[in-house]
Amino acid sequence: MNNRQFFYFKSDISKVSIPKKLNNPFSIGVPKIAKIAAEEFQAFIPTVSDKWDYDFRTRNGKMFGILVVQRKDSTIGYLGTNSGRLSRAVACDRFVPSIFDDATDDYFINRGMTAITVIGEQIKNASNEIEIRLLKEQRRLKSLEVQKQLFESYSFLNLHGVEKNLLQIFEDSSHGKPPSATGECAAPKLLQYAFHHNLKPIAIAEFWWGNPINGNDKVHKDYHPACKDRCRPILEYMLDDQGLYEAGQAGEPSE
């Protein structure tokens, strides 16, 4: 494990109650230990975000997350990351990285997107309706091909050490096909890193950072449950549904 991605608590947590089980990621209840970790991580974000090509003062905010974990030596710390992807030029090596490495298969995603762009230009320059229709169908099929390969490249471990990709996970759920950008939310990335590095998940929290969106639905530093359309099938698989976390009732703190 990269020790730089393990944050030690700066706060004194000796008197803080440590949950016996991971809190429900879909509940609005956040354990105290997770709030302390989130506040420390929130203090860290500005020290690195100034280097990003993303101005939180003028653009929409983003979701971030923390996962309190325990090492085999019983040391308790936390991991942190952002939802979505940051460019390689600004990615912070203290954040848990994306599950998908865009260098996979000789950058197939870049090559695929380039091919789709080329077809788009051909559509703009096409001279008749039949040619346009054929090119649009070609673009649609290419998009489906790239998306399928992308989803197959996102593989997740569950708490039993079993690995499945996104398509397999969603096939076993009632959610249908995975939406675009599935797999890049904070919670799955944090849990994947913890399982991969034999860290015991203790408490999890996601919060909004930056300007609000959707009519103030997401406000700076507010806590939010994991999203249902992208994350529920993944997290239910990773956590064996209720095998690790306490489901409880919506809004019930898990401490």
Question: Which pLDDT value is given to residue 254?
Answer: 37
Look up tokens 């051909």; give the residue: 122
Q: Which of 92-101, 148-157, 164-173, 210-219 has the lowest mean pLDDT?
A: 210-219
Token pair of 172, please?
């076993």
Q: What is the pLDDT of residues 120-135, one digit of tens each?
A: 999 999 989 999 999 9
- DSSP code per residue over the chain: --GGGSEEPSS--TTSPPPSSEEPTTSS---HHHHHHHHHHHHHHHHHHTTSS--TTTSB-EEEEEEEEE-TT--EEEEEEESS---TTT--TTSPPPSS-TTHHHHHHHHHHHHHHHHHHHHHH--SHHHHHHHHHHHHHHHHHHHHHHHHH-EEE-TTS-EEEHHHHHHTSSS-SPPTTTT-SHHHHHHHHHHHTT-EEEEEEEEEESB-BTTTTB-TT-EEPPPTTTHHHHHHHHTTTTTSEE---TT----
Q: What is the pLDDT of residues 27-46, one digit of tens each?
A: 989 999 999 999 999 999 99
The reported pTM is: 0.86
Dihedral sign computed on CA atoms, order 153, 203, 205, 39: negative
Best-predicted range by mean pLDDT (33-37, 125-129, 218-222, 223-227): 33-37
The answer to whether residue 68 scores a pLDDT higher than 90 is yes
Q: Distance between CA atoms of 41 and 65, rounded to whole angstroms?
A: 9
